[in-house]
Amino acid sequence: MRHVLGVLAAATVALSTFSASATQYANPGLLCRESPSAYIGALTWDYISAQNATISDVKAYCPIVSVAAITKVTLRVCTNSSAYGFLQSYSISYDNSVGELLFIDTVNASGVSCTSLDSFPPAYTYAGTVEAELQRQTVNGNNKIVTYVVED
Amino acid sequence: MKRLSVGIFIAVLTASSAASATTYYFSGDQCQANAADVYVHPYFGSYNISTTNARNVWCGSSGVAIASGGITSVVATVYDRHATSGQDVACTLSLFSSAGGTPTYQSTATTSSWSYSPMTLSWTGISATGANFATLYCVLPAATGYGASHIANFKVTN
């Protein structure tokens, strides 16, 4: 009997450890759009990313999908902002389960390269939106949002 | 008693480590379009309603949990309403790791003829390291008297 109890205890620990591990959801930047419903024509998409190929600044909105409370969002972005000295701005708004705004985190990127930006929402965060302020295109290329990984 | 405890342990291990496939479904109406004359129907997907030009749409999986085995199959349901040979619905599937970059898998599937009925474009038996999410890039031929070509939905299994 002692063997059985020992094995059951070990199994319980193993199962609880297994279920407590975080799950990640990787999303392509091409899910981002200029508006929830209308075609505007400033953003373009490729096989993975959403990018601003115009000579005006554009805002892109990316829906965040998760199953449980969100603990982390990581943006993978590419910027060429050093050409004009711009700072690329990315804001992530977080909602609770009834859609009330909990928190807005703003992360920035600059230079001519791709980089990852982390954002950590408060507890009880269940939904959100990435708002990417994509500066105008430059001779170095287009500013873009490549992926965003949600962890819960 | 020892045999019983070993049996319980094996059963628990099997239950906790068995890799079960999960399929995620997406409506074609969440695809992005490169022109205003792609019509997004609230139930049935993205239609090319231009009677003169083919149009492109980009679709992506969202909320697919990263699984150790990666994405193993993708199936898209499309409608090809252009009767001219060579004017077909063509979709390129790309799979990526969570960091993006170069696709870990890329392949194009094309309808072979027009039909009033739905057709499936399938990519199955995929084995690609780090295939964490999927995108579809589809070319929809111009609308004809048979209707407007469109992508209705797609599903991703990992």
Q: Give the Cα separation of A43 and B136 in Å (integer).
A: 17
Residues in chain A: 152
Of the candidates A75, A63, A24, A127, which has an alpha carbon nearest to the alpha carbon of residue B132?
A24
Task: Report yes or no for ipTM above 0.90.
Answer: no
Per-residue pLDDT, averaged over A2-9, amounts to 47
Task: Find all residues with CB under 8 Å of B68, minimum gap 6, and list them.
Answer: B19
Q: Are B135 and A48 an interchain contact pair (Cβ–Cβ within 8 Å)? A: yes
Tell me if residue A151 falls in helix, strand or coil: strand
**Chain A residues with beta carbon closer than 8 angstroms to that of B32:** 30-31, 33, 43, 45, 50
Percentage of the residues of chain B whose pLDDT score is greater than 70: 88
Q: Are A7 and B98 an interchain contact pair (Cβ–Cβ within 8 Å)? A: no
Task: Please identify which residue in the block is written with the tokens 């999303």.
Answer: A27
Does position B16 have pLDDT exceeding 50, yes or no?
no
Per-residue pLDDT, averaged over A103-127, amounts to 93
Q: Are A30 and B16 an interchain contact pair (Cβ–Cβ within 8 Å)? A: no
Q: Is the pTM of this model over 0.80?
A: yes
Give the pairing of strands B55-60 and B32-33.
Answer: antiparallel
**pLDDT for res A42:** 86
Least confident of A2-6, B26-30, B49-53: A2-6
